[in-house]
């Protein structure tokens, strides 16, 4: 991992909401760290294709990239979360290209995207599966492509468990400050930030701690053959192997900013 201009800082937020451009609520995206990621993406010369790993829910962050002219794609394992995105798209006349899929086996070709992110999603898995998902993010990123991934910190005071096991995990995975660095050996980390959040919902206060990474892919691994024919594509091509689709049996989604 190269860390040329790592910005690692401790930030405290009391919640909440920032939007630099929208004039109405439809344009406000709750996943506020993605605005910083978007600024880095906008400064890149790569084709504006973006993949959200864990993209489901009724307020999909992909809408932010869609509104800035990106060609958007999302993968999600949970059928209900996919349906929520579809309802959002119908209501707002957007096509975010949502697919059922598992970030541990991303159903796209190598080097398909200039930009990939996983916001409050990779944290649902075991650390063993997170390592697999991180290699998949690296695989589908183009050289010099950017990724955003956030992890839960061990400094979070409360440890949630799932009502049902999810993808083999019974609860969230938590990391020491530098523990996720090992996932970025083939990246240049351009931004690293630890966020301590205090949220107040319905009069109840909760605290959360995250470690955010924005990183640029600087080297490629050995090509992983996903399809037998290689060709230049105008848009990412889906691997429709049905074995890549895994259904989820958990309804709980991670909150927070």
| Torsion, CA 108, CA 162, CA 78, CA 27, rounded to 10 | -90
Long-range contacts at 71-76 (CB < 8 A, ≥ 24 apart)? 71/97, 71/235, 72/96, 72/97, 73/49, 73/97, 73/98, 73/99, 73/108, 73/113, 73/236, 74/98, 74/99, 75/51, 75/99, 75/100, 75/101, 75/102, 75/103, 75/106, 75/107, 76/100, 76/101
pTM: 0.76
Domains, the chain, ordered by start: 8-244 (3.40.50.150)
3-state secondary structure of 102: strand
Expressed in percent and rounded to 5, the helix, strand and coil fractions of the chain are 25, 35, 45
3-state secondary structure of 181: helix
Predicted local distance difference test score (pLDDT) of residue 20? 39
Digit-by-digit pLDDT tens for the chain (257 residues) are 554 444 444 433 333 333 334 334 445 677 889 999 999 999 999 999 999 999 888 889 999 999 999 999 999 999 999 999 999 999 999 999 999 999 999 999 999 999 999 999 999 899 999 999 999 999 999 999 999 999 999 998 776 655 454 565 667 899 999 999 999 999 999 999 999 988 777 788 888 899 999 999 996 544 443 332 222 234 566 554 333 333 333 333 444 44
Question: Which residues, 6 or more positions from 252, have their beta carbon under 8 angstroms from its beta carbon?
Answer: 162, 163, 166
């Amino acid at each position: 991992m190269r860390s040329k201009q790592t910005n690692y800082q401790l930030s405290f937020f009391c919640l909440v909401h920032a939007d630099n451009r929208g004039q109405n609520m439809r344009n406000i995206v709750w996943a506020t760290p993605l605005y910083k990621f978007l600024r880095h993406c906008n400064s890149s010369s790569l084709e504006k294709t973006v993949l959200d790993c864990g993209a489901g829910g009724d307020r999909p962050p992909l809408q932010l990239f869609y509104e800035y002219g990106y060609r958007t794609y999302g993968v999600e394992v949970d059928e209900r979360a996919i349906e929520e995105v579809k309802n959002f798209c119908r209501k707002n006349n957007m096509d975010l290209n949502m697919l059922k899929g598992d970030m541990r086996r991303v159903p796209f070709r190598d080097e398909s995207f200039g930009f990939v992110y996983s916001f409050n999603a990779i944290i649902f898995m075991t650390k063993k599966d997170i390592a697999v998902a991180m290699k998949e993010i690296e695989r589908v990123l183009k050289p010099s492509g950017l990724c955003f991934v956030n992890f839960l910190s061990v400094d979070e005071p409360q440890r949630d468990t799932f009502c049902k096991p999810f993808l083999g995990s019974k609860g969230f995975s938590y990391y020491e400050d530098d523990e996720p660095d090992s996932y970025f050996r083939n990246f240049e980390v351009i931004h690293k930030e630890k966020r301590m959040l205090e949220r107040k919902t319905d009069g109840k206060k909760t605290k959360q701690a995250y470690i955010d990474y924005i990183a640029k892919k600087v080297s490629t691994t050995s090509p992983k053959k996903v399809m037998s024919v290689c060709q230049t594509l105008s848009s990412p091509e889906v691997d429709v192997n049905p074995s890549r689709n895994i259904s989820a049996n958990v309804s709980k989604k991670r909150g927070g900013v």
